């Protein structure tokens, strides 16, 4: 999960301050040093770390502890505010398009996720009432054009391609096509390289001069730390980019790119690509991002995800009240959500539940949560076993594994995950007023319960 290591280290630092009645200069100095090394390990730019830690120390020394806050909470408050300031920008939204069609040019190194993000952005624009056109300008990478066409078809967005002629000519032809066919946004998926070279930058500069994009967005891999910052600096020198897109954010992002890139390059982060689905794209929000880094929970992200889940399918909440649900109910909900990652992802944004969500999600194969395997296992059980999982003995587990084409370990993992989920819901008593309404959005529901836990 993103920020896992950094969040745990910061939580450990703050935990040491909990027993203190007030902060001494020595405490502040030690805490500042610990934060500095935690950020270095997260691959945050050293200049950014130096300035960041200096501001924290300056604000913490001599600071009177507020009556409602402990020293640890005061330090968290200061760190949170400084993180927000470090990542904030006045122009983090897409620029308003001055012409029709508006042009968005995506650039970045090969493998940074440009093509997938292009489709995600097109899908987001389409859902906002626009008529986007994807343009295949990457004529060098094998299957790049085909990949974009497949992605475009999956979201019902047209893809313009003209074979392997010059990418500059393709962009000009696409612009004319868009004007003739009523497309109001042009999204150019440009070629990348394994490294920045003169040929790449020259091609992109020429394309920029020909189509005059309203936005030049740079896709950077959130896993690469300071390397992402270096790449952003080089692209900005050559193209004067307008914004940054963080891709692969659902992986083990250390935090270096997120915390450093805006400060070093002085360009806003505009979007976060946070999953494999083409709907997994978020507007960058520095407040919620700071909360996630500090392990306080991404409330805004949680609310939006809960709403999306609730609107997509009506959740039959009665079966979850007090944790009274069986494998029949579990099967229906695994099938409804399509992937168990919907619940796991929401849990990862809740303070204190990040570790639990990672344990519950630790049944992956090559990065894909194997919910289909879980469904097969449940289908291999008898009605009695699904209604009463407690009777599933070792011999029964071997039979279920054989019948579902899985291993006994997989059956054990399913039963353990099921029990953890049931205990979780039972512990927090998710419900809604008078048993009516929605499990996620009700007054006593998933979101409401955890909003109260987010306070400093």
pLDDT value at 432 more than 50: no
- Per-residue model confidence as pLDDT tens digits over 361-400: 444 444 344 677 888 899 899 989 999 999 999 999 999 9
Report pLDDT digits (tens) over 132-188. 999 999 998 888 999 999 999 999 999 999 988 999 999 999 999 999 999 999 999
Give pLDDT, residue 429.
Answer: 52
Q: Look at residue 450 in the predicted model and tell me its pLDDT.
A: 42
> Does domain 102-293 match CATH 3.40.50.300?
yes
Q: What is the pLDDT of residue 187?
A: 96
pLDDT at position 2 = 57
For residue 454, count CB atoms less than 10 angstroms from its CB and return exposed for 0-12, middle for 13-18, buried for 19 or more. Answer: middle
Compute the average pLDDT of residues 321-347: 63
Q: What is the pLDDT of residues 5-39, one digit of tens each?
A: 788 888 888 888 877 767 778 888 888 899 999 88
User: Quick check: 287 pLDDT over 90?
Assistant: no
Closest C-alpha among 146, 92, 88, 89 to residue 119: 146
Calpha distance 349→453 (Å, rounded):
12
Beta bridge mates, 282: 272
Could you tell me if 239 and 203 are in contact, meaning their C-beta atoms sit under 8 angstroms apart? Answer: no
For the chain, the maximum distance between any two Cα atoms, rounded to a whole number of angstroms, is: 70
CATH topology of domain 299-451: 434 Repressor (Amino-terminal Domain) (1.10.260)
pLDDT mean over 103-128 = 92
Report whether pLDDT(298) > 70.
no
Rg of the chain over Cα atoms, rounded to whole angstroms, equals 25
Instruction: Look up the pTM and report it.
Output: 0.65
CA pseudo-torsion sign 305, 229, 28, 67: negative
State the pLDDT at residue 154: 92
Tens of pLDDT, residue by residue over 243-269, are: 999 888 766 666 778 888 888 888 999
Q: What is the CATH number of domain 4-87?
A: 1.20.120.140
N-term to C-term CA, the chain: 23
Same CATH fold assignment for domains 102-293 and 299-451: no
Conformation bin of residue 77: beta by default, left when phi > 0, alpha when psi is -120 to 50: alpha
Q: Please report, for the chain, the start and end positions of each structural domain, with discontinuous segments joined by +.
A: 4-87, 102-293, 299-451
Examine the pLDDT at 318 and tell me if it is beyond 80. no
The answer to which of 43-52, 65-74, 213-222 has the lowest mean pLDDT is: 65-74
């Amino acid at each position: 999960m993103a920020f896992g290591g950094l969040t745990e280290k910061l939580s450990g630092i703050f935990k040491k301050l909990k027993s203190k009645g007030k902060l001494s200069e020595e405490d502040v100095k030690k805490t500042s040093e610990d934060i500095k090394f935690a950020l270095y390990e997260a691959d945050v730019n050293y200049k950014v770390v130096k300035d960041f830690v200096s501001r924290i120390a300056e604000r913490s020394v001599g600071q009177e502890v507020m009556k409602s806050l402990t020293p640890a909470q005061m330090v968290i408050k200061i760190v949170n505010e400084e993180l927000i300031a470090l990542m904030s920008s006045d122009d983090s939204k897409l620029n308003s398009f001055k012409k029709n069609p508006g042009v968005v040019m995506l650039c970045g190194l090969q493998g940074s996720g440009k093509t997938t993000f292009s489709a995600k952005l097109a899908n987001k624009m389409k859902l906002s009432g626009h008529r986007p056109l994807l343009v295949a300008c990457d004529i060098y990478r094998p299957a790049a054009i085909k990949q974009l066409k497949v992605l475009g078809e999956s979201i019902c967005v047209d893809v313009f391609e003209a074979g392997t002629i010059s990418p500059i000519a393709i962009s000009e032809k696409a612009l004319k096509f868009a004007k003739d066919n009523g497309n109001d946004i042009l999204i150019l998926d440009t070629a990348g390289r394994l490294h920045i070279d003169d040929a790449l930058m020259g091609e992109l500069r020429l394309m920029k001069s020909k189509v005059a994009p309203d936005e030049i967005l740079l896709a950077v891999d959130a896993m690469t730390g300071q390397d992402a910052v270096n790449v952003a600096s080089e692209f900005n020198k050559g193209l004067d980019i307008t914004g940054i897109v963080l891709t692969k954010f659902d992986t083990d992002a250390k935090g270096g790119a997120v915390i450093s890139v805006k400060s070093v390059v002085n360009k806003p982060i505009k979007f976060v690509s946070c999953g494999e689905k083409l709907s997994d794209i978020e507007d960058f929000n520095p407040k919620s991002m700071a909360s996630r880094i500090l392990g306080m929970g991404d409330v805004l992200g949680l609310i939006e995800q809960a709403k999306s889940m609730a609107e997509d399918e009506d959740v039959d909440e009665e079966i979850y009240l007090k944790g009274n649900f069986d494998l029949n109910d579990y099967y229906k909900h695994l099938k409804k959500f399509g992937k168990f990652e919907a619940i796991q992802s929401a849990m990862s944004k809740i303070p204190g539940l990040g570790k639990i969500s990672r344990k519950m999600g630790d049944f992956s194969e090559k990065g894909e949560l194997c919910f289909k395997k879980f469904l097969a296992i449940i289908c291999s059980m008898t009605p009695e076993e699904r209604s009463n999982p407690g009777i599933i003995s070792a011999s029964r587990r071997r039979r279920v594994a054989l019948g579902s084409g899985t291993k006994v370990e997989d059956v054990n993992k399913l039963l353990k995950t099921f029990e953890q989920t049931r205990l979780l819901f039972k512990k927090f008593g998710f419900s809604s007023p008078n048993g009516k309404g929605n499990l996620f959005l009700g007054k006593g529901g998933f979101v409401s319960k955890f909003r109260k836990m987010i306070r400093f």
